Structure 1
Amino acid sequence: MSNNKLLSNFSLRIGKLLDDDDEFNTTIFVGGNKSSSIIKTFKAHSILLKINSSYFENVLKNDNNNEYTKKIYLENISPPVFEVILKFMYTGKISMENRTRDDIIELLEAAEELKLDELSEFLQDHLMQKKDCVINDNNDNNDNTQNLCHVTNKLSHSNKRGNIRLVGAGPGDPKLLTLSAYQAIQEADLILSDKLVSEEVLELIPKHTEVFIAAKKFCANVEAAQAELNRVGLDALNLGKYVVRLKQGDPFLFGRGGEEFLFYQSHGYIPQVIPGVSSCMSAPLLANIPVTHRGVASQFLVCTGTGKKNTIPEIPAYNPIRTTVFLMACHRIRDITKDLMEKGNYPSDCPCVVIEKASFMDQREIRGTVSTIADIIDREGHTPPGTFVVGHACTVLSKQL
């Protein structure tokens, strides 16, 4: 029996594992984005995924889930395309017969995302040569048979186009990351961050992934730090890298996410934005403060405590049925509470709470009124980051305790 025949029989036996529902240990949920609203579930074997794809190797290696069956989410790939790719990983075969150029490009994009280098090179070559072939066909004399090991005239990887995601890192506890955020972190070639993102979240980054953390954005260097982040990200995109910009909380809530979106858009890259859990909602919740409560608060307002060029922002007028949450405000809480009373007509006994390090083990709440909270903080001290909540909702649950 020839070596080719042995390899063919071995490939056939491995391929039969696709139909084995008893031994799989990985479930893959594919689809669900705007271009493919249908989600399909595939079952696979982690060992075969890892030996074929460095993407799956990284995801499965960093999966701390103790459950026997691992779960992976691939929202950017359509189920029909992934079905072809999964069969290729099990059998080493892919039929190019009757595939249009658009079909091949979609397969290539998926292969690039999953870091299937051999398949990517073959598909690139196929696009260039415009050949119709079947990889590793059992018929050795078939002119349409082409082994991946002999693919030539490869398209240079320098032509690969980079992509970027703006990813919300949540309030700090990594357990509050979304699944999409976690997946983006695992897939990235480069992580852009700043010192606002918690160490616990940064520890989820795979060891091999390049990380750039900008200098802390003090008021004197905030523009320079932002420009540096933008430059590093754009340079990586131009090299064809997959870039993730991690942003504390939610990217579009007082995080310059919109500005970064416009920056990359102006250079020809449209970022994908992944929402994050903002401290404006999570911090009050974790401190047992319902920002809305029937009969107490029917409105909820989010404000920044730091205006442009580090100025004090305009103070909203007092409304007894509204909860107001200030972000980036605790460093100037005395000035803000003074303006609340003098310019916003807040009563001096209006309840308020400073929630520091929300979602961390050492979370702390400092409670008072708008007339007393600054003195309490001066006396007890404060450890950032902090969220400042003002309104009668601050005491609605504590009164019941």
Structure 2
Amino acid sequence: MSSNNLLLGFSNKIGKLLEDPDYEFNTIIRTGNDSNIKCFKAHSLILKAMSPYFRAALSNKHVMKEGSWTYLEQPNFSPPTFDVILKFMYTGTISIEKRDNSEIIDLLKTAQELGLHELVDMLKDHLIQGREKIIPKETADTNLVPGVDHMNGSNEISELRSTKKRGRIRLVGAGPGDPNLLTRAAFQAIHEADIVLTDKLVPEEVLKLIPLQTEILVSPKKFCADANAAQEELNRLGLNALNQGKDVIRLKQGDPFLFGRGGEEFLFYRSHGYTPQVIPGISSCMSAPLLANIPVTHRGVASQFLVCTGTGKQNTLPDIPFYHPSRTTVFLMACHRIKQITLDLMNDGKYPPECPCAVIERASCKDQNVINGTVGTIAEILEQVGHKPPGTLVIGWSCLTLL
């Protein structure tokens, strides 16, 4: 028996798992909305093996469970489309020859969200080849408006055609550290990527969400003194990948535009003809205090909230804000020079030494640690207990509000 026949026989047997109620389903997926709702039974093991999206969803500690059953709500998946996708995940086969373009596009969107890369590529090729049979390439290039499919009034197929030629860059916020705090848009983006560029600021737990087949390049220089060299290296790697037509993700800790050089990267890529899409992330400037039970604003205590960097341009000391009793001040990237910063706060900013503060280390991660003190004592305390970066320095009377 040939290997092809063996594979076909194997896929047929796996496919029968969907048809036989005795095969111990343990997952129910509710799709659609309003009057068009359908529930599908499936096996979590197969869902996790086939789809990075389901692997993360089913591993989430907040997923709905009842007895041995796990329940997933997917109102954005149409039942007919998901029926086809689910059978593909069990059998590895799909029939698309008799489907119209709108059906194929629905399948493509769902496959992209689920991270089914092989199916995505096949559907894209099918759409592009079908279009080129109807519209010869030379006609499409010379007589038609770019980006518009004149056969059916839709630009979606033409966009697919262009993505085969041209790379795409997205600046994606990875959040404070806990993978569960990654936005859905960020999660989907990293599962669509050909290559992910990141650095050692992004925790290993987040990097584990990236599919195994996706290339990951981690710059080791972000903790080095020469941050400019690290930035130039990442820009070069990203541009090289874009010029090869790849889907590039620049995964950045926190939010891309908050002390993350996201604006500089945006300008760099745009100057080379690639306008990035920016996907926001949860910044530690607000999430770290929250996770340490420090409200950055609180009626009668703090009516202002200021975010500062602890590391200025060329690794210089930052400008020091003046003290305001009803303000919470948050410093990012400051703990490595906390002694100098707190001295400057007291001397130049007129902060009282007794003003409370806290350092939140590795906010949202399993080893999160909170160190409390005052502006006058926190540097000495941190020196005594040691520091595990990254850390967020929070200063203000709101630090005492929920104690």
Q: TM-score, normalised by structure 1?
A: 0.71
Q: Distance in 1 between matches of 2:273 and 2:229?
A: 22
One-letter amino acid of the counterpart of residue 343, structure 2: K
User: Contact 2:361–2:389 at 8 Å: present in 1 too?
Assistant: yes
Q: Distance in 2 between matches of 1:285 and 1:317?
A: 24
User: Contact 2:84–2:94 at 8 Å: present in 1 too?
Assistant: no
TM-superposed deviation, 1:266: 2.4
Structure 1 residue runs of 4+, over 3 Å off? 23-31, 40-47, 54-63, 65-75, 78-91, 93-97, 103-115, 155-160
TM-superposed deviation, 1:314: 0.8
User: Contact 1:170–1:277 at 8 Å: present in 2 too?
Assistant: yes
Report the aligned-residue RMSD: 4.1
Alignment of 1:184 with 2:189, yes or no, is yes
One-letter amino acid of the counterpart of residue 379, structure 2: A
In structure 2, the residue matched to 1:121 is 125
CA 87–29 in structure 1, closer or farther in 2 if over 3 Å, else same: closer
CA 375–194 in structure 1, closer or farther in 2 if over 3 Å, else same: same
In structure 2, the residue matched to 1:307 is 312
CA 57–173 in structure 1, closer or farther in 2 if over 3 Å, else same: closer
After superposition, where does 1:1-400 map in structure 2 within 5 Å? Answer: 27=29, 57-61=51-55, 63-65=58-60, 68=69, 71=72, 92-93=95-96, 110=109, 113=112, 115=117, 116=119, 117-130=121-134, 159-218=164-223, 220-398=225-403
Q: Distance in 2 between matches of 1:245 and 1:176?
A: 18
Deviates more, 1:346-355 or 1:230-239: 230-239
One-letter amino acid of the counterpart of residue 321, structure 2: P
One-letter amino acid of the counterpart of residue 129, structure 2: D
User: Contact 1:104–1:123 at 8 Å: present in 2 too?
Assistant: no
CA 367–121 in structure 1, closer or farther in 2 if over 3 Å, else same: closer
Q: Distance in 1 between matches of 2:229 and 2:313?
A: 15
User: Contact 1:111–1:120 at 8 Å: present in 2 too?
Assistant: no
Q: Distance in 1 between matches of 2:224 and 2:163?
A: 38
TM-superposed deviation, 1:267: 2.5
TM-superposed deviation, 1:326: 0.3
User: Contact 1:81–1:107 at 8 Å: present in 2 too?
Assistant: no
CA 129–312 in structure 1, closer or farther in 2 if over 3 Å, else same: same
One-letter amino acid of the counterpart of residue 95, structure 2: G
Deviations 1:93-144 (A, max 9, x none): 45577x7xxx79967974994543433323222221207xxxxxxxxxxxxx
User: Contact 2:49–2:55 at 8 Å: present in 1 too?
Assistant: no
One-letter amino acid of the counterpart of residue 59, structure 1: Y
User: Contact 1:196–1:248 at 8 Å: present in 2 too?
Assistant: yes
Deviations 1:137-159 (A, max 9, x none): xxxxxxxxxxxxxxxxxx99994
TM-superposed deviation, 1:225: 1.1
TM-superposed deviation, 1:323: 0.3
Deviates more, 1:318-327 or 1:86-95: 86-95
TM-superposed deviation, 1:251: 1.2
User: Contact 1:349–1:371 at 8 Å: present in 2 too?
Assistant: yes
User: Contact 2:108–2:123 at 8 Å: present in 1 too?
Assistant: no
Secondary structure at the residue paired with 2:172?
strand
Q: TM-score, normalised by structure 2?
A: 0.71
Deviates more, 1:302-311 or 1:207-216: 207-216
TM-superposed deviation, 1:255: 0.8
Gaps of 5+ in 2: 1-11, 20-24, 136-159
Q: State the aligned residue count.
A: 344
CA 341–41 in structure 1, closer or farther in 2 if over 3 Å, else same: farther
What fraction of aligned residue pairs are identical, expressed as a percent? 55
Q: Distance in 2 between matches of 1:226 and 1:320?
A: 38
TM-superposed deviation, 1:173: 1.8
Gaps of 5+ in 1: 1-9, 18-22, 32-37, 132-154
TM-superposed deviation, 1:86: 6.0
Secondary structure at the residue paired with 1:377?
helix
User: Contact 1:27–1:44 at 8 Å: present in 2 too?
Assistant: yes
One-letter amino acid of the counterpart of residue 228, structure 1: E
One-letter amino acid of the counterpart of residue 164, structure 1: I
Deviations 1:286-305 (A, max 9, x none): 21111111111011110000
User: Contact 1:108–1:123 at 8 Å: present in 2 too?
Assistant: no
One-letter amino acid of the counterpart of residue 125, structure 2: E
CA 86–204 in structure 1, closer or farther in 2 if over 3 Å, else same: closer
